[in-house]
Amino acid sequence: MRRKRGAKFMFKKYSLIIGTAAMLVTTPIVAAQGPKGDEPVAVPRSIKQGIDFVYVDPQMSTVARKKQKPQNWLQRLFNPSASKKQGAPNPMFNDLARGLQQYQATWGRLPQTKIPAGAALKRGSTGKRVAALRTRLGLSAEGGYDDQLFQTVSNYQAVHGLGSPDGIAGRATIASLNRGSTYYARKIAINMERAFRLPQTRAFDRYVVVDSGAAETYLFAGDRKVDSMRVIVGAEETKTPMMAVLMRNAKANPYWNVPPELVKSLTAKKVKEQGLSYFQNFHYEVLSDWSANGQLVDPKTINWKKVASSKSLPTFRVRQKPGPWNSMGEMKFEMPNDFGIYLHDTPLKEKFAGDRWISNGCVRLEDYHRFAGWVFGRVPADSSQPEQYLPLPKAVPIYLTYLTVAATPNGVTFRPDPYGFDALAMPQMFAERGGEPAKA
């Protein structure tokens, strides 16, 4: 599946709610003009997704309010013991709140001194830079790069997401230490704000959280995480947006409808290279139009050279038939939104073992069968018939968020920021005035 970033947009006549860093605003939804096919379109640039959260279905906004500002969680901590009360923040928020407290009590209390740049420091190293490193990590300046320092550096690396902990204070580790604990505390606070925008406790019987920062999906029942699985999410250039939307149905044995832009730029090119056998070899068919009553068309009746050179998009439809070759696999989980985002199966199971930030914005499920059994409350029956519409017994809220910090029993661990959302969120949440964070 390929995502078209340069799609043209038009305004719809209805609105969505965006929980922003500055306020809660009502903004027109934008959608690709004409038929889109089964591909995402870019979220408008007006939605700055460092913190901004798009509530496609307004009833899913259980915390956003008009003129809402992000909380300064460095100065105001929610009491996790209140998590059982009606309307308390999401359990993921509570876990991060505890993690922030533990981080401040461990790494945050250490001297925030700078370590001069230089060669990597490791076991056996001595000198002023080793003494500075020991001081920075709360050890006595004497002792050189001994086993105690080695273990402390390894622990620091593990917490701060600096690759496989090797106990060597190289360039990345020194740079991280020199950023200081305030930088990392702010990252925790940013993630707390994102988690705060997830559903409050007792808001829903069950819901799904897709975390594109971790490339994981979590299933919640009664505000308790009951299952999880790996997912494949958008690549850096085709980010999976932060949004909330209701899942209302699934389709078994789905078609993949090729966007008109790709019919013009890709399908026509393939026909030129491979001939009309391309359609049979890759299980495509052509329909007269995008209506429900579109008729099958013989590809040889179409001037594909003209399609490729035309300034306008084709009005006929090209779709890939259901089967093991189909990029949506055996089931597509639909949740109406004008960004073209949905969850689906995939035939490429081996991809879950590698880099999982490779999709064009949609979410590929590691185990669609288990997911379907949970959202339906049973394993839905289906046959070999294509495009079977399977309505959910009850709409399931889906929250797509982005977390770069994970709570642990001893505090937190930091993860990479593949989308750069943390960098966007820093000025949204913290005004740099004398180095102090903005007040809530």
Just list the catalytic residues. Answer: 344, 362
SS3 29: strand
Contact at 8 Å (CB) between 323 and 283? yes
> Three-class SS string for 51-109?
CCEEECCHHHCCCCCCCCCCCCCCCCCCCHHHCCCCCCCCHHHHHHHHHHHHHHHHHHH
SS3 271: helix
Tell me the β-bridge partners of 202. Answer: none
CA dist., res. 429 & res. 439, Å (int): 9
SS3 45: coil
Contact at 8 Å (CB) between 230 and 355? no
Residue appearing with tokens 């789905």: 254
For 101, other C-beta atoms within 10 Å of its C-beta total: 15
Of 177, 263, 220, nearest to 396 (Cα)? 220
Q: What are the φ and ψ backbone dihedral angles of 130, each rounded to 5 degrees?
A: -65, -40
CA dist., res. 418 & res. 425, Å (int): 14
Residue appearing with tokens 């089964």: 38
Contact at 8 Å (CB) between 214 and 108? no
State the Cα torsion 242-245-248-254 to the nearest 10°.
-30
CA dist., res. 231 & res. 240, Å (int): 12
Tell me the β-bridge partners of 397. Answer: 246
The b-or-e profile of 339-361 (16+ CB within 10 A means b, else e) is bbbbbbbbeeeebbeeebbbbbb
17: region left, alpha or beta (phi > 0 left; psi from -120 to 50 alpha): beta
Contact at 8 Å (CB) between 372 and 380? yes
Residue appearing with tokens 């002023």: 128
Q: What are the φ and ψ backbone dihedral angles of 290, each rounded to 5 degrees?
A: -100, 10
CA–CA–CA angle 369, 374, 380 (5° rounding): 55
